[in-house]
Amino acid sequence: MFRKILVANRGEIAVRVIRTCREMGIRTVAVYSDADRGALHVRMADEAVHLGPAPSRESYLRIDRLIDAAKATGAEAIHPGYGFLSEQAPFVEACDAAGITFIGPRPEAISAMGDKTGARQRMIQAGVPVVPGMDEPESDVNRAREFARSIGFPVMIKAAAGGGGRGMRKVESEEEFDASFAAAQREALAAFGDDRVYVEKFLDKPRHVEIQVFADAHGNCIHLFERECSVQRRHQKVIEESPSPILDEDLRRRMGEVAVRAARAVNYLGAGTCEFLVDANKNFYFLEMNTRLQVEHPVTELRCGVDLVRWQIEVAAGKPLPLSQDEVRAQGHAIEARINAEDPAKNFMPSPGKITYLRLPGGPGTRIDSGVYPGYTVPMAYDSMIAKLIVWAPTREQAIQRLQRALSEFVVKGITTNIGYLKRIVAHPEFLSGDYDTTFLARRAEELRAATNGELARVALVASAVYQYQLDKNRARKLELAAQGAAAARSRWAEMGRLRALGRAGGVR
């Protein structure tokens, strides 16, 4: 087993990885930028190496500095977390060249899944259902329009190098096609430096359901069921839950099998996630594979009772998976809510700054993965997620009650957060019904933006109580002053006599 691991990340995920390393008796090396000198992951690691200035290009994305840091500290392996270099094949190759174990898939698997049309072809060959569409990018607008007409409008134009919704265009009709095609090419070029696009059938109000997969170096590949991630805002997940309210046992088993087939098709190693769109008729289509540990992995950890980071480390060290497919047991219901330093009232603008007060929820079935502490200054250089709240309970209803309870305990002062917004989402009838899709947050934006009547009623109640309290206090103070004045006018002797008289009468004192 590794004796020392370098964690090439920051924030809650760096803390998350360090925690498992400590449990496994593995020493940790944190890395940090100028903006992260006081960060929690630096405090929690055994050692820390400075990388450079705050911008990630000059710190967390510097392959050379990370490799140097691992060599200088004697770390045998690097955990990339998510984001940053976690899905960069050149980083894995640099680790290979330096004799350092990259805790993740091989570079070939990352590259194969990174190219969206290439991945579609491989998936079709492997018998994995994909959204009906082109197998290859098309640069000729006439051929692209003809293809769109052949599959029928509406269609979706997507970037070949894309993912995450950037460079994506819905086209309603043939008349709009040419302008949208050109716009999609421009967006793709701007976002990915690659203007190749392709055309797919548009799916109306799909749900986003993903399957956690895990493969070892001994030919074992299993899945750990699904996560429902349809509660998204501008392609950012906000709430994730498992099980998905729409999956039945048969669909769950079929999607799991397909996800394992997808992973096997690229010789996958370690933790990965296959994303699917599920349409209103419960047809499912492979969308893309994320070749990393995901933000929402704790949902699977709580539902399946496993430590996925431990699994990643063991598999990277050459050990076999600890469970076979039949041994994976899912129990109860898990939900995650992402706590962001952002202001829902100001179009979700980032709200960095100093956390002057922090009270984290706790209690039964309540987990917090966080990278912040009271007195910490949230820097503006990185993404705004400061914590994840994950709950587990035997049923969805109880998990929602628990999440509502935990959100009500959460207090963050000094910066603005989305906690109020999260409370409104998890109290919304559409979320409660479980019958929601990827358009939920956009369709309900107006209802979710303002404080609800219930919230305002509580604010009004507190305000009136405070007002009444102050009135009472003023009145009491006036009476006290009047009594003091009267007392001063009396002689000390007379006052003592009055008190003695009160005492005999069974009054005060």
Residues annotated as part of the active site: 292
Residue 223, φ and ψ in degrees, nearest 5: -120, 155
What is the separation, in whole angstroms, between the first and last Cα of the chain? 73
Instruction: Tell me, rounded to whole angstroms, the distance of Cα 77 from its chain centroid.
Output: 25
The answer to whether 441 and 232 have CB atoms below 8 angstroms apart is yes
Distance from C-alpha of 393 to C-alpha of 77, rounded to nearest angstrom: 35
3-state SS assignment for residue 470 = helix
* ∠ Cα 52 54 57 (to 5°): 75
Q: Which of 15, 21, 75, 203 binds ligand MV4 (CB under 6 A)?
A: 203
Taking the complex as a whole, how short is the minimal distance between the CB of residue 452 and ligand MV4, in angstroms? 25
The three-state (H, E, C) secondary structure of 382-402, written as one string: CCCEEEEEEEEECCHHHHHHH
Residues with Cβ < 8 Å from 415, sequence gap 6 or more? 341, 351, 352, 353, 354, 355, 378
Contact 404, 390 (CB under 8 A): no
* Shortest distance in whole angstroms from residue 288 CB to ligand MV4: 6
CB of 116 to ligand MV4, least distance (A): 9
Q: Which stretch binds ligand MV4 (CB under 6 A): 57-65, 97-105, 136-144, 196-204?
A: 196-204
Cβ(391)–Cβ(241) under 8 Å? no
Q: How far is the CB of 239 from ligand MV4 (least distance, A)?
A: 12
Cα dihedral 141→147→152→155 (10° resolution): -50
**Does 296 help bind ligand MV4 (rule: CB under 6 A)?**
no
289 sits near ligand MV4 (criterion: CB under 6 A): no
Of 238 and 358, which has the nearer Cβ to ligand MV4? 238
CB 305 to ligand MV4: min, Å: 27
Reference 21, options 373, 312, 367; nearest CA is 312
224: contact with ligand MV4 by CB under 6 A: no
Please give the size of the binding site for ligand MV4, defined by CB under 6 A: 18
Q: Find the binding residues for ligand MV4 in span 417-446 (CB under 6 A).
A: 438
- The reply to whether 160 sits near ligand MV4 by the rule CB under 6 A is no
* Residue 235 touches ligand MV4, criterion: CB under 6 A: yes
**Residue of 164, 363, 375, 454 interacting with ligand MV4 (CB under 6 A):** 164
**Residues between 115 and 144 with contacts to ligand MV4, criterion CB under 6 A:** 131
Closest to ligand MV4 by CB, 27 vs 208, is 208
Nearest to 77 by CA among 8, 147, 163: 8
Our finding on whether 156 is near ligand MV4 (CB under 6 A) is yes
The residue within the footprint of ligand MV4, chosen from 163, 167, 270, 365 (CB under 6 A), is: 163
Is there binding between residue 208 and ligand MV4 (CB under 6 A)? Answer: yes
Closest contact distance (angstroms) between CB of 205 and ligand MV4 is 9
User: Which of 135, 480 has the CB closer to ligand MV4?
Assistant: 135
**Contact stretch for ligand MV4 (CB under 6 A) within 157-165, 296-304, 356-364, 423-431:** 157-165
Stretch that binds ligand MV4, among 156-164, 336-344, 364-372, 385-393 (CB under 6 A): 156-164
Q: According to the binding rule CB under 6 A, does residue 287 interact with ligand MV4?
A: yes
Q: Which residue has tokens 């197998």?
A: 135
* Strand pairing category for 101-102 and 27-33: unpaired
CB closer to ligand MV4, 230 vs 300: 230
Instruction: Give 3-state DSSP helix, strand, coil % of the chain, rounded to 5.
Output: 45, 25, 35
Tokens 């976002």 correspond to: 191
| Contact between residue 205 and residue 430 where contact means Cβ atoms under 8 Å apart | no
How many Å apart are CA 482 and CA 475, to the nearest integer?
11
Report d(CA 410, CA 441) in Å as an integer.
22
Site for ligand MV4 contains 266 (CB under 6 A): no
Closest CA to 270 of 31, 107, 100, 91: 107
- Which listed range, 42-50, 199-207, 342-350, 443-451, lies at the site for ligand MV4 (CB under 6 A)? 199-207
Residue found under tokens 């010789």 = 267
Residue number, 393 or 448, with CB nearest to ligand MV4: 448
For residue 304, give both structure tokens. 């399946």
Give me the 76-115 binding string for ligand MV4, x by CB under 6 A, dash otherwise.
Answer: ----------------------------------------
Among 200, 210, 228, 241, binds ligand MV4 (CB under 6 A): 200
Q: Is 167 in the site for ligand MV4 (CB under 6 A)?
A: no
HSE (side-chain half, CA atoms, 13 Å) at 206: 18
Interface positions with ligand MV4 (CB under 6 A): 131, 156, 163-165, 168, 200-203, 206, 208, 232, 235, 277, 287-288, 438
